[in-house]
Amino acid sequence: MPRIALGAAAAVAYAVLLLAPLAVIVYSVSPGAALEIPPSGASLRWYAGLADQPRLISGLFTSLSLGAIATGAALVTGIPAALALTRGSLPGREACLAVLLSPLSLPGLVLGLGVLTSAAVLANATGIQTAGTLLPLVAAHLLITIPWVVRSVAASLETTDPALEDQARSLGAGPFATLFLVTLPSARAGIVAGAVSAFVISFGNFAMSLLLASGRTVTLPVAIYETVDRYQDPTVAAVSTLTIAAAVAAAVLTDRISRPLKSRGASSGSGRQPDPAAPEPNA
Amino acid sequence: MRGGAPIEFPPHMDRSRRRVAVLLLLPALLVVAVVAAAPIGLLFRVALYPPGPVAPLSGGPELDSFAGLLSAPYPSVALRTLRLSLLTTVLVTLLGFPVALFLSRSRGLSRRIQTLLIVSPLLMSVVVRAYGWMLILGRQGFVGETLAALSLPRVGLLHTEAAVLLALTESFLPFMILALAASLDRIDPDLLAAARGLGASPVRTFFAVVAPLTLPGFVAGASFVLVGSLSAYAIPALLGGSAARTFVMEIYELVTISFDWPTAAAASIVLLLFASALLGGAALLSRRRSARTFGA
C-alpha cells in the first residue's frame, strides 16, 4: 500500500482516538453549563466548583488510595513472580504466565460479581463483614494490577544479564545481597514502569469496581458514571480532564523510563522490546 | 538476548532453585486462585439455585436458571451483543491494519508520538472516554450544537447502536494496532526484499508474505477485541441505554434491580464459558498455525 494512503488511514485513526478526550477537555472550560458552538469564551470555574462536589472528591480520594494499595500489593506479589518466571527455569512457565495474565481478558463485571458473592458468603459463614471496606476492591484490583507488574518487570529482567548475578555470587555476595544490589536495581526501569501502569489501570478501572463500590468506597470512575448518567455538569468534565492528564503523564513517563531499556536491547541485536506500557493482548 | 553462557548447576542446586521459584510464584498465583477462580466456582454454585429474588438462597441444585436464559429477552440480547462485538472486531481490524503498517514503518520521534497516541487512551478510564462520546453525540452535544449553529436540524446520535459501535471501535482500536504491529515488527525485511526480487508485485507480496505472517497478531488481537466488546458494560450502558441492551447490562440489572442472583450467576457462567472458549480456540489456532509454519 502506498505510504500516503497508510498515513491518511493512520491520521483518521488517531483523530478518532483523540476526539473523546478532546470533547471532555473543551467542555471542562466551557463558560456555562450548556455546550456552545462556537464557544463564547473559556473559564476555569468548573475546576473551582469541584470543591462543592463531595461525591466526586470522595471518589477521587478513594481511587487514589485504592490505586496506591493495589499497586503496592501488586509489587509485593508481582516482582517475586516475575523473578520466578524469568530466573526459575520452571517447566510450566508459559502456563503460569497465562494464568497470571488471564484476568485481563475476562469480563470485569463478572469478576466483580464473583468477588461480591464471595464477600457475602464469607460474611454469612464467619461474620466477617467486608462490605463498605476497601478490601473487596483491593482484592479485585489485584487481579488487574499484578499482570502489569509481572509483564513489565519480566520484560526488564529478560534484557538484563543473569551472568552478572552469577559473578556477584562468585565474588561472595549472598543471595539476598545479590537480589537487592544487582538483580532488582537492574530491573528498576521495569519496576517503575509496571508500578505506574498498575496504578493508572487501577485508578481508571470501572467494570470491576461497579458492583463492589458503595457509600464511602465509591471510586472516581463509578462516581463519574453515576453523575453523567443523570445530568449535564461540566464539573464532571473538569475532574475527568484531570484523569486524562494523569493518563497522558503516565504514558509519557513509562515511555521515558523504558527508553534506555529499549536502546540496550537494540544494541544487542534484538528487535523491538515489548513496551511495558503496551498491553499486548494475550491469547 | 541473555549474554554469557548459561551456567550449569549441579542437580541438587537446580532443584532448590526451582523450589525457591515456586515459592516466589505462589503469592501471585494464590491471588488469582482466591479472587478469580474460587469466586467463579462460587458463581457456578449460585447458578444452581432456583431462579428468582429469594434470599437466603435455598433449594436445588437444578438447572432452571440456565433454562431461563433461553426465554425472552436473553436470546435477542445475546444476539445483539454478539453482532456488536463482531462488527467492532471487523471495524477495528479494517482501521487498525493500515495504522499498524504505518506504525511499523515509522522510526524515531514519529514512532514515539504515535505510540503515545495509541497507549494514552488505554490508560484513561473507559467511563471518561464514553463520557467524551456522550458530549460529542448528544442532542445538546458537539454534533447537535454544530448542526443547530448551521441552522440544520439537530440530530442526536446518543442511545443508538451506532453510537455504541463507534465508541467500542475507538476503545478497542489501540489493542488491535499494538497486536498487529507486534507481528509486523517481527517480519524479516529480507523476506519482503526476496519476494520482490523474485518478481512478486507489492500486492502479491502483501497477500503472500505480510498477511500470513501477521495472522498470529490478528488472531490474538481479534480474540481480545471480541471478548472485550462482549464484556463491555460502560459503553453500551452510557451510549446505548435501553436502545442497545447487551448481555452484561442484563447481568448488572439482574443483580441490582431484580435481585435474581441465580439467573445473574448463570448468565455470568455462560458469558465466561463463551469467552474462555473463544480465547482458548484462538490460542490453539495460533499455536497450530505457528507449528505448521515453522515445522516444529
What is the domain-level CATH number for residue A134? 1.10.3720.10
Question: What pLDDT score was predicted for residue B10?
Answer: 56
Q: Please tell me if residue B282 touches chain A, with a CB cutoff of 8 Å.
A: yes
A2 vs B161, more confident = B161
B126: which chain A residues are within 8 Å (Cβ-Cβ)?
204, 206-207, 221
User: pLDDT averaged over chain B?
Assistant: 88
A7: which chain B residues are within 8 Å (Cβ-Cβ)?
102
Does any domain span residue A275? no
Task: Report CA Rg, chain A.
Answer: 22
Gap from A133 CA to chain B (nearest CA, Å)? 16
Question: What pLDDT score was predicted for residue B47?
Answer: 92
Between chains, do A84 and B127 touch, taking CB under 8 Å as contact? no
Average pLDDT over residues B138-161: 87
Q: Which long-range contacts (CB under 8 A, 24 or more apart) does B214-218 make?
A: B214/B97, B214/B100, B214/B180, B214/B183, B214/B184, B214/B187, B215/B183, B215/B286, B215/B289, B216/B183, B216/B286, B216/B289, B216/B290, B217/B100, B217/B179, B217/B180, B217/B181, B217/B182, B217/B183, B217/B184, B218/B93, B218/B179, B218/B180, B218/B183
Between chains, do B17 and A13 touch, taking CB under 8 Å as contact? no
Gap from B257 CA to chain A (nearest CA, Å)? 12
pLDDT tens string B236-255? 999 998 888 999 999 999 99
Measured between CB atoms, which of B99, B125, B145 is closest to A35? B145
Residues in CB range of B65: below 8 A, 6 or more apart:
B47, B48, B49, B50, B51, B262, B263, B265, B266
Gap from A193 CA to chain B (nearest CA, Å)? 13
Surface of A (50-89) touching B: CB under 8 A? 76-78, 80-81, 83-85, 87-89
Does any domain span residue A274? no
Does any domain span residue A76? yes
B175: which chain A residues are within 8 Å (Cβ-Cβ)?
279, 281
The residue range of the domain holding A5 is 1-43
Question: What pLDDT score was predicted for residue A134?
Answer: 93
A84 and A108 inside one domain? yes
Tell me the CB-side half-sphere exposure of residue B6, using CA atoms within 13 A: 7
Surface of B (31-50) touching A: CB under 8 A? 31-32, 34-36, 38-40, 42-43, 46
A252 and A158 inside one domain? yes
Q: Supply the DSSP string of A99-134, one letter for each residue.
A: HHHGGGGS-HHHHHHHHHHHHHHHHHHH----TTSS
Gap from A214 CA to chain B (nearest CA, Å)? 12
Tell me the CB-side half-sphere exposure of residue B16, using CA atoms within 13 A: 5
Domain positions in chain B: 70-294
Question: What pLDDT score was predicted for residue B181?
Answer: 94
Question: What pLDDT score was predicted for residue B262?
Answer: 93
Q: Please tell me if residue A34 touches chain B, with a CB cutoff of 8 Å.
A: yes
A265 vs B182, more confident = B182
Question: What pLDDT score was predicted for residue A214?
Answer: 87
The amino acid sitting at A135 is: L
Q: Please tell me if residue A238 touches chain B, with a CB cutoff of 8 Å.
A: no
Measured between CB atoms, which of A16, A118, A166 is closest to B39? A118
Residues in CB range of A166: below 8 A, 6 or more apart:
B4, B7
Measured between CB atoms, which of A24, A81, A277 is closest to B135? A24
Question: What pLDDT score was predicted for residue B17?
Answer: 79
Measured between CB atoms, which of B24, B136, B255 is closest to A83? B24
Does any domain span residue A232? yes
Question: What pLDDT score was predicted for residue A153?
Answer: 95
| Alpha-helix runs per DSSP H in chain B | 11-32, 38-47, 64-68, 74-105, 108-123, 126-137, 142-149, 161-185, 189-197, 202-205, 211-231, 234-235, 247-256, 261-294
Average pLDDT over residues B139-165: 88
Beta strands in chain A (DSSP E): none
Does any domain span residue A1? yes
Question: What pLDDT score was predicted for residue B199?
Answer: 87
Neighbours of B133 (CB within 10 A): 25
In this predicted complex, what is the ipTM?
Answer: 0.88
A114 and A227 inside one domain? yes
Question: What pLDDT score was predicted for residue A247?
Answer: 92
* A111 vs A207: CA distance, rounded Å: 9
CATH class label, B70-294: mainly alpha
A129 and A229 inside one domain? yes
pLDDT tens string B97-121? 999 999 998 988 999 999 999 999 9
Q: All 3 cell numbers of residue A108?
A: 470485569
Between chains, do A143 and B31 touch, taking CB under 8 Å as contact? yes
Does any domain span residue A280? no
Between chains, do B25 and A115 touch, taking CB under 8 Å as contact? no
A169 and A37 inside one domain? no
Surface of B (213-242) touching A: CB under 8 A? 219-221, 223-225, 227-228, 230-234, 237-238
With cut-offs at 50, 70 and 90, classify the pLDDT of residue B290.
low
The DSSP secondary-structure symbol of B258 reads: S
How far is C-alpha B146 from the geometric centre of its chain's CA atoms?
A: 34
Gap from A181 CA to chain B (nearest CA, Å)? 18
Measured between CB atoms, which of B115, B135, B238 is closest to A229? B238
Between chains, do B248 and A109 touch, taking CB under 8 Å as contact? yes
The DSSP secondary-structure symbol of B7 reads: P
The per-residue b/e assignment along B198-223, b for 16 or more CB within 10 angstroms, e otherwise, is eebeeeebbeebbeebbebbbbbbbb
CB A196 within 8 A of CB A250: yes
A28 and A108 inside one domain? no
A63 and A28 inside one domain? no
Surface of A (161-220) touching B: CB under 8 A? 161-163, 166, 197, 200-201, 203-207, 210-211, 220
Number of domains in chain A: 2
Does any domain span residue A277? no
Percent of chain B whose pLDDT exceeds 90 = 58
pLDDT tens string B275-288? 999 998 988 887 77
Q: Which residues of chain A have pLDDT under 70?
A: 1, 229-231, 259-283
CB A13 within 8 A of CB B95: yes
A213 and A262 inside one domain? yes
| Alpha-helix runs per DSSP H in A171-233 | 175-178, 184-186, 188-204, 220-230
A178 and A142 inside one domain? yes
Residue showing cell 506479589: A77
Q: Is pLDDT above 50 for B3?
A: no
A91 and A174 inside one domain? yes
pLDDT tens string B54-109? 666 777 788 888 998 998 899 999 999 999 999 999 999 999 999 999 999 898 89
